[in-house]
Amino acid sequence: MKSIVSIQDLSKTYDSGFRALKSINLDIKDGEIFALLGPNGAGKTTLISIICGIVTASQGTVTVNGFDNITAYRQTRELIGLVPQELTLGAFETVWNTIRFSRGLFGKKKDNTYLEQLLKDLSLFDKKDSELRELSGGMKRRVLIAKALSHQPKIIFLDEPTAGVDVELRKDMWNIVRRLRDSGVTIILTTHYIEEAEEIADRIGIISNGELLLVEDKRTLMHNLGKKQLIIELKESVSSLQQELTDYDLVLSEEGDQLIYTYDSMSDNAGITDLLQTIKMVGLELKDLHINKSSLEDIFVDLVKEDQMRTERVEVKV
Amino acid sequence: MNIQGIKVIYYQEMLRAWETLFQTLASPVISTCLYFIVFGSAIGSRIQSIDGVSYGLFIVPGLTMLSLLTQSIANASFGIFFPKFTGSIYEIHSAPISFFEIIIGFVGAAASKSLIIGIVILITASFFVDLQIAHPIWMATFLILTCISFSLFGFIIGLWANDFEKLQVIPLLVITPLVFLGGSFYSINMLPPFWQTVTLFNPVVYLISGFRWSFFEVSDVSVGVSLAVILGFLFVCIAIVGWMFKTGYRVKQ
Ligand SMILES: Nc1ncnc2c1ncn2[C@@H]1O[C@H](COP(=O)(O)OP(=O)(O)OP(=O)(O)O)[C@@H](O)[C@H]1O
Ligand SMILES: [Mg+2]
């Protein structure tokens, strides 16, 4: 698939002297959902802001659909819609006027039919004539989405779209994202939550301390690294495994009161039912069962921790 | 050229004035009336005519300029400051619109508003005095150039200010004194010679003098100098805006 956004050797040092991005290289494929995962202060917003033209890069280039985002900013920016992280909206305009403003600002002729449909899709139509300051946080977020979509962009950036959003709106949001993707729009979103990236993204990038630590197809990532563990607690400890159980990929804990079963989280139940039946058959009694959380989180935590430790070490040396 | 973009910025700014139409027009109209009652009638009746122009008539151009300057600066600075304050400016930064086009939208709207206010003030004044305009084209030129250059100046203040205090400080501490000491209410010939010389460093003197000349053909300084000063001020503002854009000063991180 051809890449729609291409980032080369991108660095950003803020006026304060802080290095927020360190030589980022990244290609976003046309039509994919890309999740940028990273802790607070990792540089996600900075990266997005540079691509969109809000912050100027200190070094490196960004091309969007083959155009340089500085020398050909008109061509790149009209393709992009941005939903910012903060609820940055005016106060006294009405919802309707503000989305008409956004559409015009991006150089598009007015199209009330499209905008009305957009408001309906986002359940905002009945708020059409309300002033922005009268809206709740969730509604404001919907307005920001409407503004970003008002000029029918080919690429959408969602900067932490689920922050401060209830379950309902989150579900709506993912529906909108999937529908946009189906219509050929490329989506780049940032998040702190691994489950979110797992749920929606095609590819995942992990960023920490201004460095891109890993970019991988979600399936490959989950397949290679995404093992899950089922922990089976036994009522009474055993000293060794029964013959029937040795066929499974099982490990007995040191105290002999836990069986640990590791399996690939991408395959459906991975023989868990079988295993549980066998356990019952050999006469072991269960006290409790639990699953160790998606180990993508562990990878993430490991990667980020490792990176932070490395940075600290460098800082100590300096 | 992103014509749609310019149009929506202009329209949005005008809409803001339209929605607060009463405040937008009432405050300059009421203050003009008050000035006329106090200076024109109460005090003015005891003042001899200046250069053959009755005092009530003499203060009209200065009063108009006073409102024009403060309104242009207030409108334009607030127009760009508020989106910065709420953060909604991100959208303008991320849009396919040039800095030049953004300025046309914001400054054009602010200048249009002041122009309308200026005309309304002149109409109000004509109810108090018998207003004659000797050189209508010069009058319009001064009016329009003042609206544009001071709106541009206001835009610069709005970009520069990063809190409400800074937004107020220049209009309050610089513009108002300059206008009051700029011969709105007197001819600088009435001052002692020393103060006359000092006054010549005040650019507003040239503005008011030129504008007054277009009505009554009386002026403190020659009209050509007045025109040069206002054009000079406009170019200084353009240069500052150009520099801000080039270096990104207070515009982008
Ligand atoms: N204008 C600025 N001046 C100086 N430093 C800044 C500025 N904006 C951001 N930073 C710093 O750059 C780093 C990256 O910030 P950024 O907002 O990109 O992080 P983020 O990954 O979006 O974090 P979060 O998940 O909290 O939104 C942070 O350490 C932040 O303090
Ligand atoms: Mg952020």
pLDDT in tens, A244-253: 887 777 888 8
- pLDDT tens for A91-119 read 889 999 999 999 999 999 999 999 999 99
Evaluate whether residue B32 is within a structural domain.
Answer: no
- pLDDT of amino acid A171: 87
Evaluate whether residue A313 is within a structural domain.
Answer: no
A13, A50: one domain: yes
A141 at the B interface (CB within 8 A)? Answer: no
A22, A164: one domain: yes
- In chain A, what is the straight-line distance between the N-terminal and C-terminal CA atoms, in Å? 43
Contact between residue A132 and residue A143 where contact means Cβ atoms under 8 Å apart:
yes
Evaluate whether residue B190 is within a structural domain.
Answer: yes
Evaluate whether residue A19 is within a structural domain.
Answer: yes
**Lowest-confidence segment of A193-197, B68-72, B156-160 by average pLDDT:** A193-197
Q: What is the CATH number of the domain that holds A117?
A: 3.40.50.300
Evaluate whether residue A31 is within a structural domain.
Answer: yes
In this structure, which residue's CA is closest to atom 16 in ligand 1? A43
Evaluate whether residue B47 is within a structural domain.
Answer: no
A52, A190: one domain: yes
A173, A263: one domain: no
Distances (CA, A) of A318 to A17, A108, A211, A311, A315: 16, 52, 19, 11, 5
A163, A143: one domain: yes
pLDDT: which is higher, B74 or A256? B74
Looking at the DSSP bridge assignments, the partners of residue A3 are A29
Share the mean pLDDT of chain A. Answer: 87
Look at residue B186 and give its three-state secondary structure: coil
- pLDDT of amino acid A26: 97
A178, A32: one domain: yes
A15 at the B interface (CB within 8 A)? Answer: yes
A80, A217: one domain: yes
**Lowest-confidence segment of A66-75, A103-112, A252-261 by average pLDDT:** A252-261
Nearest ligand, measured from the Cα of A44: 1
Query: Which among A55, A73, A92 has CB closest to B253?
Result: A55
Contact between residue B90 and residue A88 where contact means Cβ atoms under 8 Å apart:
yes
A287, A207: one domain: no
- pLDDT tens for B170-198 read 888 888 888 888 888 888 888 888 888 88
Tokens of B177: 């004194």
Share of chain A above pLDDT 70, in %: 91
Q: What's the structural domain count of chain B?
A: 1
- pLDDT of amino acid B19: 83
- pLDDT tens for B67-124 read 899 899 999 999 999 999 999 999 999 999 999 999 999 999 999 999 999 999 999 8
Size (chain A), residues: 318
Surface-to-core class of residue B36, CB atoms within 10 Å of its CB (0-12 exposed, 13-18 middle, 19+ buried): buried
Ligand 1 interacting residues, C-beta cut-off 6 A: A 14, 16, 18, 20, 38, 40-46, 85; B 253
Name chain B contacts of A84, Cβ cutoff 8 Å: 87, 90
Distances (CA, A) of B70 to A34, A140, A156, A170: 50, 34, 42, 48
Domain with A249 in it: 227-293
A28, A127: one domain: yes
Evaluate whether residue B230 is within a structural domain.
Answer: yes
pLDDT: which is higher, A10 or A198? A10
Share of chain B above pLDDT 90, in %: 51
pLDDT at B24 over 90: no
Evaluate whether residue A62 is within a structural domain.
Answer: yes
pLDDT at A1 over 60: yes
- pLDDT of amino acid A254: 83
Cα A274 to middle of ligand 2, angstroms: 45
A176, A271: one domain: no
B83 at the A interface (CB within 8 A)? Answer: yes
Q: Closest approach of chain A CAs to the CA of B163, in angstroms?
A: 17
B54 at the A interface (CB within 8 A)? Answer: no
* Ion ligand 2 — residues with CB < 5 Å: A 44-45, 85
Average pLDDT over residues A175-186: 93
Name chain B contacts of A80, Cβ cutoff 8 Å: 94
- pLDDT of amino acid A226: 60
pLDDT at A190 over 70: yes
CB contact under 8 A, B90 and A54: yes
A86 at the B interface (CB within 8 A)? Answer: yes
Query: Which among A73, A76, A105 has CB closest to B8?
Result: A105
Q: What's the structural domain count of chain A?
A: 2
Surface-to-core class of residue B252, CB atoms within 10 Å of its CB (0-12 exposed, 13-18 middle, 19+ buried): middle
- pLDDT of amino acid A318: 45
